[in-house]
Amino acid sequence: MGETPLLDRLVEALRCLPGVGPKSAQRMALQVLERDREGALRLAEVLKAAVEHIGHCQCCRTLTEHPLCRICVDMHRDRHLLCVVETPADQMAIEQATGFRGQYHVLLGQLSPLDGIGPEELGLDRLEARLAEGEIQELILATGTTVEGEVTAHYIADMARGHKVRTTRIAQGIPLGGELDYVDRGTLSHAFSGRRDL
Amino acid sequence: MGETPLLDRLVEALRCLPGVGPKSAQRMALQVLERDREGALRLAEVLKAAVEHIGHCQCCRTLTEHPLCRICVDMHRDRHLLCVVETPADQMAIEQATGFRGQYHVLLGQLSPLDGIGPEELGLDRLEARLAEGEIQELILATGTTVEGEVTAHYIADMARGHKVRTTRIAQGIPLGGELDYVDRGTLSHAFSGRRDL
Ligand SMILES: [Zn+2]
Ligand SMILES: [Zn+2]
């Protein structure tokens, strides 16, 4: 009876989820216990299984419970196109928003020598091996537009150049439907200097 | 390999939590797998234990993993005061916001004959037994100010009257710091008719 009540421990444990503060953790705990115990039990089971079985694809490093992910084993994906992203979330966003049908390399980070994150931590040895195989014709750099994202993109572009693989960078500019005066100056400047003939 | 990937099942399972849509479920799944597997495993364990062990207090019906909750076994709480609330969340809000040191009865709902929720479903037989014991001197009705909440409050007030127990209702009015023109008309009307001498 002296230990922390289970309900308090549940509220605390829910805070491992991003965006969940003390108030919403309490609301979540009470609501699942009062209204959806079946769903809560399923969540507990799937969460445990996910942590225990989901690792990284041996080829592209995205999250998967298999040695190779769905995309890497899919023989219908274009093996001449390789897109480099920072996170599995970025990869999902591209899968959901674009018609890209090539393959991926997921960095799981950005180059950051001061934090001890070098080429090896981003699996760039593995990426270089794929480039060396000679099948890839275009390497698309879809890393973020932060300073670290740009540094990472340039490092990889240099590597691809060494293997004579064409490298492209996703376009930066005004978001679709965006009004010029709501866009930050850096984006506007990029969009202006990246202008094309119509 | 043909079955739904574990990651997709995790995103789906997270949606049992209130306020979690497809987008935030995906963000949660990716983030815990990439950054906090230890926290996710702890959440899975505590969630399972909570669902399996947390039931309702035999006395006041709030959520607890013991036969009686912390408040009901606390001999320092005032046994002359009993506060009636609709949910464990309401009870927690009162515990956190007020200096109330009495006991509770948690209805776990509101009277709603059309939905088959009668006095028995709200544990009112148990509440009546407590009133009959003669120890309670004031019954505080802290049910919601919805129509169902008012109906429930009146039903319980009648019951308390039968046992000659003084019954009070928490005040309705303008929220602290609230400006009159931001308050809904019903609240303003209640506040006006409930005015007191200064
Ligand atoms: Zn893969
Ligand atoms: Zn209790």
Token pair for residue A124?
A: 């760039």
Of A18, A45, A64, nearest to B31 by CB-CB distance is: A18
Q: Is the Cβ pair B6, A36 closer than 8 Å?
A: no
From first CA to last CA, the distance across chain B in angstroms is 74
ipTM: 0.83
- Average pLDDT on A53-81 reads 96
Q: What is the DSSP string of chain A?
A: --SPPHHHHHHHHHTTSTT--HHHHHHHHHHHHHH-HHHHHHHHHHHHHHHHH-EE-TTT--EESSSS-HHHH-TTS-TTEEEEESSHHHHHHHHHHS---SEEEE-SS--BGGGTB-GGGGTHHHHHHHHHTS---EEEE---SSHHHHHHHHHHHHHHHHTT-EEEE---SPPTT--GGGS-HHHHHHHHHT----
Chain B contact set for A18 (CB, 8 A): 27-28, 31-32
Q: In this complex, do A50 and B1 lie within 8 Å of one another by their Cβ atoms?
A: no
User: Which has the closest alpha carbon to A85: A143, A171, A35?
Assistant: A143
Whether domain A5-52 has CATH 3.40.50.20: the reply is no
**Do B34 and A108 lie within an 8 Å CB cutoff?**
yes
Contact A43 B6 (CB under 8 A): no
Q: Which portions of chain B are predicted below pLDDT 70?
A: 1-2, 177-178, 180, 183, 191, 196-198
Q: In chain A, pLDDT over 70 holds for what percent of residues?
A: 94
Interface mutation target, options B1, B3, B7, B106, chain A, most CBs of A under 10 Å: B7
**Tens digit of each residue's pLDDT (9 = 90 or more) over A110-165:** 999 899 999 999 999 999 999 999 999 999 998 887 888 889 999 999 999 999 99
Please state the pTM of the whole predicted model. Answer: 0.82
Query: What pLDDT band is residue A1 in, cutting at 50, 70 and 90?
Result: very low
Q: What is the pLDDT of residue A104?
A: 97
- The per-residue pLDDT for A72 is 96
Q: Where are the domains of chain A?
A: 5-52, 78-169
B10: which chain A residues are within 8 Å (Cβ-Cβ)? 46-47, 50
The dihedral of CA B156, B162, B165, B169: what is its sign? positive
Work out the mean pLDDT of chain A and round it to a whole number: 90
Topology of domain A78-169, per CATH? Dna Topoisomerase Vi A Subunit; Chain: A, domain 2 (3.40.1360)
Contact residues, chain A, for B31 at CB < 8 Å? 17-18
User: Residue A171 — very low, low, confident or very high, per pLDDT cuts 50/70/90?
Assistant: confident
pLDDT tens for residues B147-196? 888 899 999 999 999 999 999 888 777 777 667 677 677 777 776 777 76
